[in-house]
Amino acid sequence: MKLEYPRKWLISFAVISLMIVIFYILFGHHLSLILSDFIVGDQVLPMEHLIWMLVFFAAFVSMRAIYKYVTAYVANSRMASLGDRLLQRVDDTTNKKSESFLNALFIHMEKYRPFESVFIPTIVNTMVKLIVIIIALFFVHMNAAIILLLTAPFVPLYYVLVGLQTRDEAYRQASQFDDMGTLFLNLVRGKDTVRNTGSDGTVSAKLDENNEDFVSQTMKILKFAFQSSLMLEFITILGIGLVALELGLQIIFFENITFYAAFFTLLLAPEFYNALKVLGVEFHNGQLARGHKDKINEWLKQPGQAPEYRTPTNDGAAVALRDVEIGFPDNTLIRDVNIGFEPNTINAITGPSGGGKTTLLRSIVGLMPPLAGEVRVASYDIGYISDDIYFNDSTLYEYLSDGAASEEAVIGILEDLKLAGSVSKLKEGIHTPIINNNVPFSGGEIVRLKIARVLLKRPHIIVMDEPTEFLDAETESLILKYLEGFKAFSTIIAVVHRRRLLGISDTHHHLENGQIRRGDI
């Protein structure tokens, strides 16, 4: 298994691990000498060996503490970097998969953390420990070293086979968790629909089915964990037993091994097998974590936030498009766009559905880079009224004011747009909470809310996608009158289907068949 980890940190971990193992072996060496002299040699407790034993034990404990600190520091730094990379994938489309993204940011990130903080340090430390112990035993007692070499491969062979299955099952479990989150959030959002259509039984059955699938997947992973633990314990006990049996035969029958060599071997052999066992357990946990990392990687493969591609205008226009191509890599929607929108004007854009009008607006507001050409703007202070309906969890006042307008100003714009009556009917008025995108208004009232939010800010450029959609004739006339007044301090660019806005427009551009041209007013 290839570790995707910076080489400098792997080398640093290996060096510290080497020092830890060396100090442990030196500690064991002096402990074995002390016991050999004291028990077999019937000598007075040798102070020199005792002092060195305490020194090496203190060094061993200190280096373990340093290793733990360094690995934790590196893991936290790498997790912070991974979180930053994940956050860079947030854009205007993330809200459509908000539950999946939040799972990646909080659940899958936390499930992956042990891979960085435990698995990698354990892998490095264990591999160094195994190699050094084998080398040391070849000098102390070769037979024991050979037994370790013969029995050790069974452990990694088994946990690799089981661990690879664990990773696949962990990925499936993480996917099911995301699906459950999506289902539950959709049910919360549509609880009124469920209640009104009498679909309680169907919804309950669907939830039970998802829950049973998740439990079944979890039990599969636990089955692999139990199998792995059982086999690791069996191989460990067998290996230590073989070493102890060989030492017993050497001591009792052949009498060709010293107490020092026997005790030192019994000190190192369990440490060797314990390291293998820990490695097996952490390999299982590491594969679980990597299953969650695969879910994170799905988001990391998404295109990140586009860098600012718009440049300041240099010809006096509020917005200018020069030799612009707009669309997607496999589908160019608009070609050879060369238009400019003058300051303090109302500009209408018409065309058939699916022609690229909304995509053109998104390029102007900075949400979608063009395939070619330049987008120039006189100001980055742009208000955007899209045809998507999305409200953050706040209150009507917080949504409309965005922290910059007083209650009086908010109430004033609501009165001007004939929304004050609808708002006053709400129990908490303009402080009514907006939860789960649930706004207690009709489609036309929601359009006016979005317009009110932008008009309160008075941006230099206002970009609008179907601003009079869902409005009756009286309300449409009111909005058009308001827009005429805003022309004094803003440039307005609007995609329209209804012809009445053309009556107050200064320019009209028609988009069709991938080309945009001046139209009649």
Q: What is the pLDDT of residues 204-237, one digit of tens each?
A: 887 788 778 778 777 877 776 677 667 777 777 7
Residue 331: how many CB atoms within 10 A of its CB? Answer: 8
Task: Please choose, from the candidates 300, 283, 294, the residue with its C-alpha nearest in 3D space to the C-alpha of residue 112.
Answer: 294
Residue 353: its pLDDT value, please?
A: 82
The conformation of residue 228, written as its DSSP 8-state character, comes to: H
Residue 116: its pLDDT value, please?
A: 87
Distance CA 335, CA 321 (A): 11
Residue 322: how many CB atoms within 10 A of its CB? Answer: 16
Residue 306: its pLDDT value, please?
A: 62
The conformation of residue 438, written as its DSSP 8-state character, comes to: B
Average pLDDT for residues 367-392, to the nearest whole number? 82
Q: What integer best gives the mean pLDDT of the chain?
A: 80
Determine contact, residues 395/355, Cβ cutoff 8 Å. Answer: no
Range 7-300 has CATH code 3.40.50.300:
no
Q: Do domains 7-300 and 311-518 have the same CATH topology?
A: no
Residue 369: its pLDDT value, please?
A: 86
Confidence category of residue 437, pLDDT binned at 50, 70, 90: low
Distance CA 110, CA 289 (A): 9
Task: Average the pLDDT over each of 8-22, 276-290, 325-339, 360-374 and give the range with the smallest value.
Answer: 276-290
Distance CA 77, CA 113 (A): 11
Residue-wise pLDDT for 47-64, tens only, equals 788 898 899 999 999 999
- 341: which residues sit within 8 A by CB, 6+ positions away? 317, 318, 319, 320, 347, 491, 493, 507
Average pLDDT for residues 435-446, to the nearest whole number? 70
Average pLDDT for residues 468-493, to the nearest whole number? 79
- List the beta strands (DSSP E) in 295-389: 311-312, 319-328, 331-341, 346-350, 372-377, 382-385
Q: Determine which helix (DSSP H) or strand (DSSP E) holds 84, and give its type and residue range.
A: helix 47-87
CA angle 122, 124, 126 (to 5 degrees): 65
Confidence category of residue 97, pLDDT binned at 50, 70, 90: low
Q: Determine which helix (DSSP H) or strand (DSSP E) holds 512, and give its type and residue range.
A: strand 507-512
Determine contact, residues 87/105, Cβ cutoff 8 Å. Answer: yes
What distances in angstroms separate CA 459 from CA 108, 263, 346, one per listed residue? 40, 82, 14
3-state secondary structure of 424: helix
Residue-wise pLDDT for 116-173, tens only, equals 888 889 889 988 998 999 899 888 888 888 888 888 777 767 666 665 666 666 677 7
Residue 465: how many CB atoms within 10 A of its CB? Answer: 21
Residue 92: its pLDDT value, please?
A: 56
Asked if pLDDT for residue 82 goes beyond 60, the answer is yes
Q: Assign domain 311-518 to its CATH architecture.
A: 3-Layer(aba) Sandwich (3.40)
Q: Which two tokens stand for residue 85?
A: 């990379």
The conformation of residue 234, written as its DSSP 8-state character, comes to: H
What residue type is 245 in one-letter code? L
Q: In the block, which residue shows the tokens 């035993």? A: 137
Asked if pLDDT for residue 488 goes beyond 90, the answer is no
Distance CA 205, CA 211 (A): 10
As a whole number of Å, the end-to-end CA separation of the chain is: 67
Confidence category of residue 70, pLDDT binned at 50, 70, 90: very high
Residue-wise pLDDT for 388-420, tens only, equals 666 666 788 888 887 777 888 888 888 887 888
pTM of the predicted model as reported, rounded to 2 decimal places:
0.57
Asked if pLDDT for residue 492 goes beyond 60, the answer is yes
- 150: which residues sit within 8 A by CB, 6+ positions away? none
Residue-wise pLDDT for 502-518, tens only, equals 888 889 988 888 888 88
Residue 166: its pLDDT value, please?
A: 66
Confidence category of residue 11, pLDDT binned at 50, 70, 90: very high
Residue extents of the structural domains in the chain = 7-300, 311-518
- 505: which residues sit within 8 A by CB, 6+ positions away? 346, 347, 348, 494, 521
Average pLDDT for residues 180-201, to the nearest whole number? 71
Q: What is the CA radius of gyration of the chain?
A: 35
Asked if pLDDT for residue 74 goes beyond 90, the answer is yes
Q: Which two tokens stand for residue 355?
A: 């022609």
Distance CA 165, CA 115 (A): 17
Residue 67: its pLDDT value, please?
A: 94
Asked if pLDDT for residue 435 goes beyond 80, the answer is no
Asked if pLDDT for residue 66 goes beyond 90, the answer is yes
